[in-house]
Amino acid sequence: MNEPIKWTKNNMPETDCSQSLSLLTLPEMEKAHRFHRSFPQYEETPLADLSHLAAYLGIKGFYVKDESFRFGLNAFKVLGGSYAIAKYIAGRLGKDISEISYETLVSDETKERLGDLTFYTATDGNHGRGVAWAANKLRQKSVVLMPRGSSRTRLQNILSEGAEACITDLNYDDAVRLANSRAVKDPNGVMVQDTAWEGYEEIPGWIMQGYGSMSYEAWNQLEAVGVERPTHIFVQAGVGSLAGSVTGFFANLFPDNCPVITVVEASAADCLYISALAGKLVSVGGDLSTIMAGLACGEGNTISWEILKNHARFFVSAPDWVAARGMRVLGVPLKGDPKVISGESGAVTTGLVFSLLRHDNYRDLREALGLDGSSTVLLFSTEGNTDPEKFRDVVWDGEFSSFEK
């Protein structure tokens, strides 16, 4: 019998999260999106309309934002790292980010004024590749530390961007601490991490703003097909920066009628789910072993938590089979629906929605969410097949199969 999906409704008392929400207002998102549009590699990533799947599941609409096309890097993470680096450089140049473009960043003048910098980070792969890519474009250095068990393919992708990178024998959160200690000791070092902690919150806030470009695009794409507001949003979480960014954007956009937002974590690293049960931010330790490498984080982002505890409606702890199911559903679509090649961390929300609507043993969560024939669901496939070997193991060979019928 497979490990079950666990969930809880958010029953935490409301607190003042206005400062965190202010990072994710529509004007701030427009500013981030304007910056990303200045990249010569920029193309809006597609919003897949899975209308046949929606009909099969008995809901009104099923939309998946496909980030496998983002800047040729196969994942959304570069949005946050590049924007944080740009805001840091804007500050060094005495400018607002609205005055900074891709051309400004890569110019000889900017390089001469900045001198030599080294950007440090820890990652399972996607975030580090984005930071390394941005640093490479800037003709600067990057140092990327990866937790034990990380994919060799993801390491090679980071090395190919000119980074100094290695797989450590540490878990994700300890790799973050090591990267930060090295950055602090380097007079030209800058830590670029989406995990926030006391004393380190400015750059993680900028990263969350950068992620907002994805939500901003999705909102405009939904409007273009006649969807003014999704009724439900499911968003995956590692440290919670993406989840906080998505939740904050839509909470600002629809302050009086926010979509039902559900935060989805890997069960091996479900610190936000456990925090929701505890009513306060707590961490989980250990190996955090899961196929959802991008979600294998045991310590939540403090900025994001302020948003999630006030505006997320549900928290879900999802076993690996849920992600595997989502990968297969997206990769082998119903006739007439577009194919979405989604990696383990990108597909978990699809696997969850599919399971909730197909199996009566999850009727309690389905009914609590209010998923029915009037529901329009928005999901974010945050990565493509960033680990091709693992992707084939799951989609071709049926690894992590669910036996529920």
Is 111 in the active site? no
Q: Which tokens sit at 132?
A: 């390394």
Q: Which tokens sit at 238?
A: 């590692």
> Would you give the distance in Å from CA 162 to the centre of its chain?
24
Contact status, residue 36 vs residue 213, Cβ threshold 8 Å = yes
Instruction: State which H helix or E strand residue 264 sits in.
Output: strand 260-266
Give every CB contact of residue 182 below 8 A, 6+ residues apart in sequence. Answer: 120, 143, 189
φ/ψ of 235, rounded to 5, equals -135, 135
3-state secondary structure (DSSP) of residue 153: helix
Q: How far is CA 280 from CA 10, 261, 277, 286, 352, in A?
A: 12, 19, 8, 20, 25
Place of tokens 């580090």: 128
Helix axes 344-358, 320-331, angle to 10 degrees: 90
Instruction: Give bridge partners of residue 351 from the DSSP assignment.
Output: none
Q: What share of the chain is helix, strand, coil (3-state, %, to 5)?
A: 50, 15, 35
Contact status, residue 318 vs residue 348, Cβ threshold 8 Å = yes
What single-letter DSSP state applies at residue 380? E
* Cα Rg of the chain (Å, integer): 20
Sign, Cα dihedral of 357, 360, 365, 369: positive
Query: Which listed residue (31, 65, 77, 141) is catalytic?
Result: 77
Query: Which listed residue (124, 194, 270, 320) is catalytic?
Result: 124
* CA angle (231 as vertex; 53, 9 as ends), nearest 5: 105
Give every CB contact of residue 380 below 8 A, 6+ residues apart in sequence. Answer: 64, 65, 67, 76, 214, 218, 235, 236, 242, 246, 346, 349
Cα separation, 193 vs 195, in Å, equals 5
Is 16 in the active site? no
Pairing of strands 314-318, 260-266: parallel
Report the catalytic residues: 77, 124
